[in-house]
Amino acid sequence: MRKLPFLAALVVFLSLQMTGQQVTNINANLLDESIVRVAYDLEGEVPGQLFTVKLYNSTNQFSLPLEYVDGYVGERVEAGLNKFIDWDISKELVAFEGELTFEVKAELTFTPINVVFPEKNAITRGKQHIITWRGTNTGEHVDIQLYRDGRKINTITHTINDGQYEWEVPYSTKPGKGYSVKINSTSSSQSDIGTEFSIHRKIPLLVKLIPFVIITPIVINLTEEKPVEPQILPAPPNTPN
């Protein structure tokens, strides 16, 4: 008789691009004499992420993934709760008696583009701003485009997908509202457009139009002259007769 007292699985998470995802709440139960169900939760960082999920156990020291599996396993598995993998023991093992420890590995393979620029609702011409985004595959290239009121204005740059680009807003860009940044993957149909923002002049127009008037104060010192009082000369001395 085959004894299968199952232990809670060792949790291992591998990530190609980002941190923050994890496999949790793993447990294994025997559905019948040949099928073991391994349940787990797969948490992603952003909606739409896809993973390649593989199941391992201690029969081969976790060196190779199990082959006779079904359920939420293999490529393009979405994050979510109450995932499960059914493993057919009868096809994988000729005979077994003892304890098994399971390991679920989830490798992040796809993250949709998500533009997180700008952090504020206004930017300034002539200054540098960091365009940031998440998603797509590391190493591929993206096109960063400037839109206004839903219409493409120009392509800001074609750059490698490293999640950020330092953009100095040209002085030729018209100030105003309704701007947004769109990022397109050059190797897939992925794209995303960020929230709207305004572009301001570096120096406000009102300041440019106000003339500078320099007023030089004139200081006049008035010295009051006191009137000169008449002097009375003394009488001459009497002369002898």
Q: Half-sphere exposure (CA, 13 Å, Cβ side) for 104? A: 32
**Under 8 Å between Cβ of 139 and 160:** yes
Question: What's the pLDDT score for residue 3?
Answer: 41
**Mind listing the pLDDT tens digit for each residue in 107-166?**
988 888 989 887 778 999 999 999 999 886 767 899 999 999 999 999 999 999 888 999
**pLDDT for 8:** 35
Exposed e or buried b per residue across 217-236, where buried means at least 16 C-beta atoms within 10 angstroms of its C-beta? eeeeeeeeeeeeeeeeeeee
Decide: helix, strand or coil at residue 161: coil
* pLDDT for the residue numbered 9: 36
Cα separation values, 138 from 83, 105, 110, 142, 225, Å: 27, 20, 10, 11, 90
Domains of the chain by range and CATH? 10-110 (2.60.40), 114-202 (2.60.40.1930)
Tell how strand 35-43 and strand 80-88 pair up: antiparallel
Q: Looking at residue 105, what is its pLDDT?
A: 94
pLDDT at residue number 16: 29
As a whole number of angstroms, the distance between CA 102 and CA 224 comes to 108
Position 42 scores a pLDDT of: 96
Contact partners, residue 228, CB within 8 Å, separation at least 6: none
Q: Give the pLDDT of the chain (241 residues) as one tens digit per residue.
A: 334 444 333 333 332 233 345 899 999 999 988 899 999 999 988 888 899 999 999 988 999 999 999 999 999 999 999 999 999 998 998 777 778 899 999 998 888 898 988 777 899 999 999 999 988 676 789 999 999 999 999 999 999 988 899 999 999 999 999 999 999 998 878 899 999 999 999 876 555 555 554 555 655 554 555 555 655 656 666 655 5
Residue 175 has a pLDDT of: 95
